[in-house]
Structure 1
Amino acid sequence: MEAHNPNRIHRINFRLTEAEHQKILASWQKSSDHKLSDYGRKLLLGKPVTFFIRDRSLDLFTAEMARLRKELKALGNNFNQIVRRINGLKELPRYEFWLQDAKRKQEILLEITKDIQQQINKNASIWYQRSSQEKASEEP
């Protein structure tokens, strides 16, 4: 349990409707304050409150990039194993088999890399449009 701050001995209690309570909680969760009491104190005393601005497109982009990164890492590991095998082979038929397998993996890697590039381009376009709109709305 946290130690009480001896300077803060006074309490203020007040009642809220469920809608008011939910509104305050939603606003608090968007703020940088970890404790509701810190958030409430800032609001009541007129101190500045820092809010996090969440960008849904950035969240989706991050999740997709994490998925693609995991997939790319697995394919890269497979590709490295194939290249090591090819370098250690001396028999021509086995060499050709592993070389063909390496070419298939390379095509998959290139396809995933293309997907990553498309995602980056798509999100960059969205962010650029938003940035342009925000700048336009700020101009007098």
Structure 2
Amino acid sequence: MQTTIKTKGGRKLKSNPKKYRHVFRLTESENERLLALFASSGMTNKASFLVSMLLDREVKTVKVDVAALQYHATLTKLFNQFRAIGVNYNQMVKLCNQYFSENRVKRSILKLEEYTKDLSKLCYYIIKLTKEFEQRYLNANP
């Protein structure tokens, strides 16, 4: 005869259950400050956040610099435009070689070279500004 052990169904018991509850009240300004700290912490559970704050555990705060995000987005768009200009440049040279006379090709290529030099100067200036921006705002400890 085999003996079977009957167990209750349901959740498994926790090894260290939380069974103590504390209640406190805040003023309007204290509540706003607490919610701002909670939002900046990046945590999803308010109870865990409060326990971390009360028991001196490390709380990570995440600050999003909107200006840096906008700058990065604009720089990305500009980079994509540079790539498009490069593609257009190659297509222009191919078309010039196919359909124009040698003298006209030389004149067109000279104009393209002038524009390319201007674009190169602009690119150098953008790189310089980007490095300054990164040193000043993104790298707090250089």
Aligned to 1:34: 44
Percent identity, please: 20
Q: Is residue 116 of structure 2 the alignment partner of residue 106 of structure 1?
A: yes
CA 1:95–1:40 in 2, change beyond 3 Å: closer, same or farther?
same
1:12 Cα deviation from its structure 2 partner:
5.0
Give the helix-richer structure, 1 or 2.
1
Distance 1:84 1:24 in 2: 64
Choose the corresponding residue for 2:31, options 18, 21, 32: 21
Aligned to 1:75: 85
Q: Structure 1: which 5+ runs fail to align?
A: 1-5, 133-140
Distance 2:82 2:73 in 1: 14
What pairs with 1:52-91 in structure 2 (closer than 5 Å)?
A: 52-53=62-63, 58-59=68-69, 61-89=71-99, 91=101
Distance 1:44 1:99 in 2: 70
Aligned to 1:138: none
Q: Which has the higher contact order (CA 8 A, sep 6+)?
A: 1
Q: TM-score, normalised by structure 2?
A: 0.59
Classify the secondary structure of the residue corresponding to 1:73: helix
Distance 1:45 1:11 in 2: 15
Q: Is the 8 A contact 1:31 1:51 kept in 2?
A: yes
Q: TM-score, normalised by structure 1?
A: 0.59
Superposition RMSD in Å: 3.8
**Aligned partner letter, 1:91:** S
* Structure index of larger Rg: 2
1:54 Cα deviation from its structure 2 partner:
5.0
Q: Is the 8 A contact 1:68 1:112 kept in 2?
A: no
Classify the secondary structure of the residue corresponding to 2:141: helix
Q: Structure 2: which 5+ runs fail to align?
A: 1-13
**Residues paired across the two proteins, number:** 127
